[in-house]
Amino acid sequence: MEHISPWVLFFAAIFTGNILLTFFLGMCSFLSVSKQLKTALGLGLAVTFVLTITAALNWVVYYYILVPAGIEYLKYIVFIVVIAATVQLLEMFIERYSELLYINLGIFLPLITVNCAILGVSLFMVIRQYSFIQSVCFGAGSGLGWLLAILAMAGIRERLNEKKIPTALRGPGIALIITGIMAMAFIGFSGMVQIQ
Amino acid sequence: MWLSKGPGGRDENQNTAVHEHKTGDSMKRALTTVFFMAAVTAVFIAALAAVNELSRSRIRMNTRIQELKSVMYAFDVMPGGMREDALPPNASTGDLPWNNADLIEIRSREFILRSVPVPDSLKPLLKNSFLTTGDSVLIWIRVDSSGMPSAYGFHLRGKGLWGTIEAFAAVNADLSAMTGIDFLSQVETPGLGARISEQEFKSYFRNLGLGRFSHTASGQDGISMVRKKDASNRQVQTHELQAITGATQTCDGVLDMLNTDLRFYLALLRGASGVMQAGTEFSE
Amino acid sequence: MPVSKSMQLLKDDLWKNNPVTVQILGICSTLAVTNIFLNTLIMGLGLTFVTAFSALTISLMRNVIPPRVRMMVQTLVISSYVVIVDISLRAYVPDISRALGPYVGLIITNCIIMGRMEAFASGNKPLLSLWDGVLSGIGYSWVLLVIAFVRELLGFGTVLGIQVMDPLIHGLGYTGGWVQWSFMIMAPGGFFMLALFIWIANSVSGHKLTHSGS
C-alpha cells in the first residue's frame, strides 16, 4: 500500500500502535528480561537491530522468491529460517569483530529468534502490503517502540524492589499490571488529533 | 534453561574449529547432518504442498462467498427471516446465517454486473482517489421484479492508519441515499480501528443522506462524522456518521475514502443515464 | 504408558506448573485474541494440535536427529504443523481465520511449544510426549479461555456472540441496556485480566508458585 508515508508508519509503530502494548508481541522476553535497566537496554537494542534487518530481508525474500514461485503459504517457515539464520550470522560476526559489542549485545541474540515481535513484524508487513521502504520504517519503529516499552518497564521495576506488594502478585503479576497501565497511557497517543 | 542456547549453539562452532584436523570423521558426520536436514525438509515441504493443493479450491470458494456476503450486506439483503436490528453491535458480516446456495441464487436472480467506461471529464476525480481501476469501473446493479434498477453498488478504496481499507458500498436508484457499506479488507488496530467492521459502525450508513454531493458547495464534505449520534439515519436522515472513539486516523481514512470515491461514482452514475445500456455486460 | 507418570503430567500441566500462570510463557500469540471467546477457543485448539503433534513427531525422531540440527528440526516440524493449521482455518472457518490475522503464524514462536519439545518430547516415548503435548495445550488454553470469557462479557456484553447483559439488566428492572467496557476489548484489559488471574491463582494455591524468570 503505497500511500502511507513511511514516517507516519515509523511513529505510529512507536506510539499509537506499539508492537508490545497494543499487539502483545514479544511478551515473554519483555517480562523476564525487564528487571534491570542495563540488560533491558541491551536486549532492546538487539531487537531493534534484528527487527530492521529481518523486515528488509523477509520483504525481499517474500516478493522476489515466494510470490513468483507461488508458494506464499510457506512464508511462516521461510521467515523463521531467515530470522534464525540472520541472528546466527550476526552473533558469529559480532563475536569475531567486537568483543565489547559482543558482551553488551551478543549475549541477547539467542533470545531473539524466539521473540515473536520479530516474526510478527514480518507477517504484519506482508498482510498490510507494505512497500520496501515502509517495511523497513515499520520494522525500525516497532523495534524502537519495544525498546521504549522495556526500558520504561525496567526503570519502574528497579524501583519496585523495596515496595510492599502482595506476595501473590510479586513478579509477573505486578509487571502485567504495570504493562496494562502503560498500555492505557499509550492509547492516549491515538487520540491526539480530535475528530470535529 | 533451554533459551540459553540458540539454534546451532555457539560452542559447536568452537568444536568444529578444534577438531578441524580430524577431517575424515567430522566430514562424514557433517554430510550426514546436511543430508538428514535436507531429507526432513523435503518430506515436510512435500506434505504441506499436498495439503495446500487439496484445499485450494475450497479456499477460493470461501473468498467468493465472503465477497458475496459483503455485497448482500451493503445492498441490505438479509438471509431469509433475519432482522438486522437483532444483530449484536459487535457482529460482523461473517456472522450472518447465509447458506451458500441461497447467496448464489440471489446473486444471479437479482444482480447484474456492468463494466462502465469512465468519461474523460471524470478522469481527474479518479486520479484523486486511491481506486486502481483504469478506463472502466465495475458497477453492481440490483434489479427489481420489473427489471428496473433499484440500487447500485461499487468498490471503494482508501487508507487507514496501518494500510489499505477496501469496502463495497451501495446507493439507492435515485442516488439520494446510501443503502449500506461493508468493509472487505482492513488491517486496523484490533479493538480500535478494526471496529469499523462491526455492525454498530456500519449501521449508520443505512439511509445516509447523499444530498450534499449533488449541490457541490466547494470546501464542504459530502459526509461528515460526529462523536455521538442520537438517532440512526434510518430514523432521521442526516449526512453524518458516528465516529469510533480512539480511532481517529482510521475514521479520517474512511471519511476521506467515502468523500473522494463517492463523488466520483455519483458523478459517473448521474452522467450515464441508464447505466444498464451504457456498459457492457461483465461476467465474473 | 505408565499411569502414575501420566497422572503427574495431568496435574503439572493443568495447574501446578501451568505454562501461563506459573511459567508466564507464550502468552504473546494468544493474549491478543482473548477479547472474543470463539477466537480464543480456535487459537487454543490450533495451539494444542500443534503442540501435541510436534511432540509426537519429535519424539518419534528423537534417536535419529543429529544433535547439531536439533533446534532447526524442531522449528521446521512446529512451523509445518502451523502451516497446516493455517490452511485448514482458511478452508473451513474463513471468518475466524480473517479475524485471527497474523496471530496463527505466531504460534511458531510460542515459547511453550519449543519448551515442551526441549524439556519433554526429545527425551520421552512418543505416546507420553503426545499426552504431554495435549495437556500443555489444554493447560494453556483454559486459562486464556477464562480471560476471554470475562473480556467478551464485560466488553461486548455477550457470551459467544449472544447478547446476555442487556436482557439481564432489563430483567433487573433497569433501562438503557449494558454499557460496553470498551477498555476490556482493548489491550490494557488483556494485561489486567491476566494479572488478576495470576494473582487469584497464586492466592488460591497458598504460596507463590515459582516461575521461570526468577
As a whole number of angstroms, the distance between CA C125 and CA C119 comes to 13
- DSSP secondary structure of chain B: -GGGS-SS-HHHHHHHHHGGG-HHHHHHHHHHHHHHHHHHHHHHHHHHHHHHHHHHHHHHHHHHHHHHHHHHHHTT-PPTT--GGGS-TT--GGGS---HHHHHHHHHHHEEEEEEEPPGGGHHHHHHS-----SEEEEEEEE-TTS-EEEEEEEEEEE-SSSEEEEEEEEETTSSBEEEEEEEE--PPTTTGGGGGSHHHHHTTTT-B-HHHHS--TT--SSEEES--SS-TTTS--SEEEPPTT-HHHHHHHHHHHHHHHHHHHHHHHHSSSHHHHSEE---
pLDDT digit string (tens) for C107-144? 888 878 888 888 888 888 999 999 999 998 998 888 88
pLDDT at A2 over 80: no
How many CB atoms neighbour CB A191 within 10 A? 13
User: Which residue range forms the structural domain that includes residue B149?
Assistant: 111-281
Are A25 and C106 within 8 A, CB to CB? Answer: yes
Tally of structural domains, chain B: 1
Distance from CA of B118 to the nearest CA of C (A): 33
Interface with A, mutate which of C84, C117, C191 (most A CBs under 10 A): C191
Q: Which of A138-152, B188-202, C194-208 has the highest mean pLDDT?
A: A138-152
Residue B170 lies in a domain: yes
Domain boundaries, chain C: 3-204
Chain B: residue nearest C158 by CA? B88
User: So what's the pLDDT on residue C120?
Assistant: 87
B6 in contact with C, Cβ within 8 Å:
yes
User: So what's the pLDDT on residue B272?
Assistant: 67
Interface with A, mutate which of C198, C203, C204, C211 (most A CBs under 10 A): C198
How many CB atoms neighbour CB C107 within 10 A? 26
ipTM score: 0.85
User: What pTM, to 2 d.p., does this model score?
Assistant: 0.80
Are C119 and B2 within 8 A, CB to CB? Answer: yes
Residues of A with CB under 8 A from a CB of B: 1, 3-4, 9, 12, 16-17, 22-23, 71, 73-74, 77, 84, 87-88, 91-92, 95, 109-111, 113-114, 124, 127-130, 187, 190-196
Chain A: residue nearest C31 by CA? A24
The minimal CB distance from B3 to the residues A4, A114, A130 is found for A114
pLDDT digit string (tens) for A105-139? 777 777 787 788 899 999 989 988 899 999 999 99
Q: The cell 495431568 sits on which residue?
A: C10
Are B88 and C156 within 8 A, CB to CB? Answer: yes
Give me the residues of A, 132-161, that contact C with CB < 8 A: none
Average pLDDT, chain B: 81
Which range (A117-121, B251-255, C40-44, C208-212) has the least confidence? C208-212
Residue A164 DSSP symbol = -
Residue B100 lies in a domain: no
Residue B240 lies in a domain: yes
